[in-house]
Amino acid sequence: MLFDCLAAQTPDPLLSLIGEFARDGRADKLDLSVGVYRDDEGRTPVMQAVKQAEQRLVDGQASKSYLGPDGDRGFAEAITDLVLGAQAGSRARAMQTVGGTGALGLAAGLLAAAGGPRTIWLATPTWSNHVPVFAAAGLAIRTYAHVDPATGGFALDAFLAAAEQAQPGDAFLLQACGHNPTGVDPDPEAWETIGRTLARKRLIPLLDDAYQGFGEGLEEDAQGLRTVLAEVPEALVAVSCNKSFGLYRDRGGALVCCGHDAAALEVAMANARTIARSSYSMPPDHGAAVVRTILEDRALTQLWRDELARMRHRLRATRRALGARLAANDPRLGAIAGQHGMFCLLPIDAAQVARLRSQFAIFIAPDGRVNLAALPLHRVDAFAEALGDVTA
């Protein structure tokens, strides 16, 4: 029998928590596990700019005919401008993908299609889906440390040591901002060094840009990525719009190929199209159409920027409050206040994570990752106390 021949699968522990949280009957339960923004009532509201764009789409959409494997071209151009800024011009080509994950999958497919033995280097810890995405494409995976245990900051030395060992043509995955799960990003000088090193060693950056706008600001959060792009002849960028536009299930995303040779860029895009065609054929329209509608309209863009800024400011206030509160017990944890993006990684073990859940109805990821974007300011103290209790 066919199905009997299939191997049993371990469910993704993070996704399993979604169901477990939904079934938990405690009124004060708090979900800090899956990476979504939540308001003080635990809701993930649809942004007003998205609602208005959706209304325009409903009123104005004349056809739902196929668009092709590239999806919405206006979306791809607008998102390239947003991410690359002045470098968008002639050296980038983009296509719509099924979320940021789909963009990473196409990037992995391109690397595999280029032949080789081809290796991708991942800084660990990293987002739990990175290894499966690159392994599925048949790439060899090597790792190096993301955080320097001595300073708690970005481990530039570990990156440099990995780059020295890498072979020309190897790829390096770099999270552009708001590192998942640590919240630790390289500073501007480190980004300069990263870019120059990748260029000198002829290594290919794959920049994963999933949290632009949740750190210091939309432009500020793109600076590291742009620094690297300015140094290297070729790069891949995987963009997710699902956090910054609150689109999650609508799966907005794009793959951007950057290079100086227009003909080679066209071949890269044609390869990406071939991979998409045999997998999902064409991306779903709605999320990308919403993003395009917002970015093509000045007033909607401003509304979206303002809403995103409010989310960012709230997140930063939570960070500061939690960092200050935890520093009282453990000075090292004060660093959380100055880190970036939605997440921080707590030094707690699986048993302590389980106690947070059973005793305090607080759900965090099994590795100790906390989604600060779901922690209301008025619950920071209670969270810190619960943490103190389980780690005492």
Neighbours of 321 (CB within 10 A): 20
The catalytically annotated residue of 31, 121, 127, 250 is: 127
Q: Is 208 a catalytic residue?
A: yes
Q: Does 208 bind ligand PMP (CB under 6 A)?
A: yes
Binding mask 79-108 for ligand PMP (x = CB under 6 A): --------------------xxx-------
Q: Does 224 bind ligand PMP (CB under 6 A)?
A: no
Among 166, 210, 289, 290, binds ligand PMP (CB under 6 A): 210
Neighbours of 196 (CB within 10 A): 14
* Residue ranges in 29-48 that form contacts with ligand PMP under rule CB under 6 A: 35
Partner residues linked to 29 by β-bridges: none
| Total residues at interface with ligand PMP (CB under 6 A) | 12
For residue 355, give Cα distances in angstroms to 379, 380, 390.
18, 18, 7
Indicate the helix (H) or strand (E) that contains 122: strand 119-124
- Min CB(4)–ligand PMP separation in Å: 32
The residue among 82, 193, 170 whose CA lies nearest residue 121 is 170
Whether 214 and 315 have beta carbons less than 8 Å apart is answered as yes
The residue among 335, 318, 293 whose CA lies nearest residue 379 is 318
Nearer to ligand PMP, 136 or 270 (CB): 136
Nearer to ligand PMP, 295 or 321 (CB): 295
Binding mask 244-273 for ligand PMP (x = CB under 6 A): ---------x--------------------
Q: Is 209 a catalytic residue?
A: no
1: its two tokens: 């029998």
Whether 208 and 202 have beta carbons less than 8 Å apart is answered as no
Q: Does 180 bind ligand PMP (CB under 6 A)?
A: yes
The catalytically annotated residue of 72, 185, 208, 250 is: 208
Per the listing, tokens 């990293």 go with: 126
SS3 309: helix
Q: Is 51 a catalytic residue?
A: no
Q: What does the binding site for ligand PMP look like in residue numbers (CB under 6 A)? A: 35, 99-101, 127, 175, 180, 208, 210, 240, 242, 253
Residues with a catalytic annotation lie at 127, 208, 243
